[in-house]
Structure 1
Amino acid sequence: MSPDPEAALARVRSYCLALPEAEEQMSHGSPGFLIAGGKFFAYFWHNHHNDGETVAIVRTTGHDEQAMLIESDPAFYYAPPYLGTFGWVAMRLDRDDLDWDRVDDRIATSWELAAPERLLEAGGR
C-alpha cells in the first residue's frame, strides 16, 4: 500500500519547517516552503492537474544535475511541469519502498541552494 498523501505532507512539512527561517506558503493551491522573505526551496504536490502523483519538488544546481538525478533513478525522480524547465526535480513520495532519508537530504540541499549567504555563513542547517 502506498503512503498516505496527508502523512507524506506532514513529513515534508515537518522537515522543511525545521530548517532555519523556513516558512510555509500556499503557491498555486499547493503547499510551498520558502526561506523567510526569500526564495522557495520545496513544494508538495498531490494529484497536481490530476497526474496521480504525490511528490516533493526541490531545486537542483541546474539542468545537468537534474538530468543526472533523473537518469540515475527515473522511477523516483522526474522533471515536473512548470518548474522542471528551471532545473527543479520532483521526487515521488507514493512508493512503498520510499527512502525518507534520501528525500530529507534533497530537501536540505535545496534549502542550501536557496539560502542567503548570511544563513550559510552562520552554519546553515
Structure 2
Amino acid sequence: MNVTGDDVRSLALSLPETTEQFAWGMPIFKVSGKLFLTLPEGETSMAVRCPILDRDELVLAEPAKFWIAAHEAGNAWVRVYLSALDDREELTAIVTDSWRQAAPRALLDSP
C-alpha cells in the first residue's frame, strides 16, 4: 500500500475533536489539545502513541515498519514507516489507537 501524509492527515482529521497544527517543523495532530500523532521526516513516517512494552515488541517483530527515534526512547511513542504499512485497515488501527490513548474519557464514552 502506498500511504501518504495526506492519507494520514485525512484519517486523523476525521476523528472527533482532532486539530492539525504545525510545530517542530512538522504537522502535528491533537485531540482535545493533547498530542497523538506527528508527521516527521517529510511526511514519510508518522509518530504515534504506543505503550512502551507494546512499542518494543512491535519494533522487534517488524523493524522494517516500526522504529524508535532516539529522543523518544524514554517515551510511549513509536515511529511507523508509511511505505511499510500493509493496508488501509492497518493505518486506521494504528491512528485510531493512538487517538484513543490521548482522547479524554468523556469523548471515548460518548456515542
**Is TM more than 0.5 here?**
yes
Give 1:42's aligned amino acid: L
Instruction: Quote the Cα distance in structure 2 between the aligned partners of 1:84 and 1:24.
Output: 24
Residue of structure 2 equivalent to 1:71: 60
* CA displacement at 1:46 relative to structure 2: 2.4
Aligned to 2:104: 116
- Please state whether the residue corresponding to 2:8 is helix, strand or coil: helix
- Corresponding residue of 2:14: 18
Distance 1:43 1:84 in 2: 16
RMSD over equivalenced CA pairs, Å = 2.0
Match of 2:26 among 26, 30, 54: 30
| TM-score normalised by length of structure 2 | 0.88
Q: Distance in 2 between matches of 1:100 and 1:70?
A: 20
Distance of 1:110 and 1:57 partners within structure 2? 9
* Equivalent-residue separation in structure 2 for 1:76 and 1:100 (angstroms): 15
- Residue 49 of structure 2, aligned match among 51, 59, 63: 59
Specify the alignment match of 1:50 in structure 2: none
Q: Find the aligned partners of 2:90 and 2:16 in 1 and give their Cα distance.
A: 19
* 1:105 counterpart = 2:93: yes
Q: 2:96, 2:87 → 1: CA distance?
A: 15
1:76-87 counterparts in 2 under 5 A?
76-87=65-76
Q: Which has the higher contact order (CA 8 A, sep 6+)?
A: 2
* Amino-acid identity (%): 30
Q: CA deviation at 1:71?
A: 1.3
Q: Which runs of 5+ in 1 are unaligned?
A: 48-52
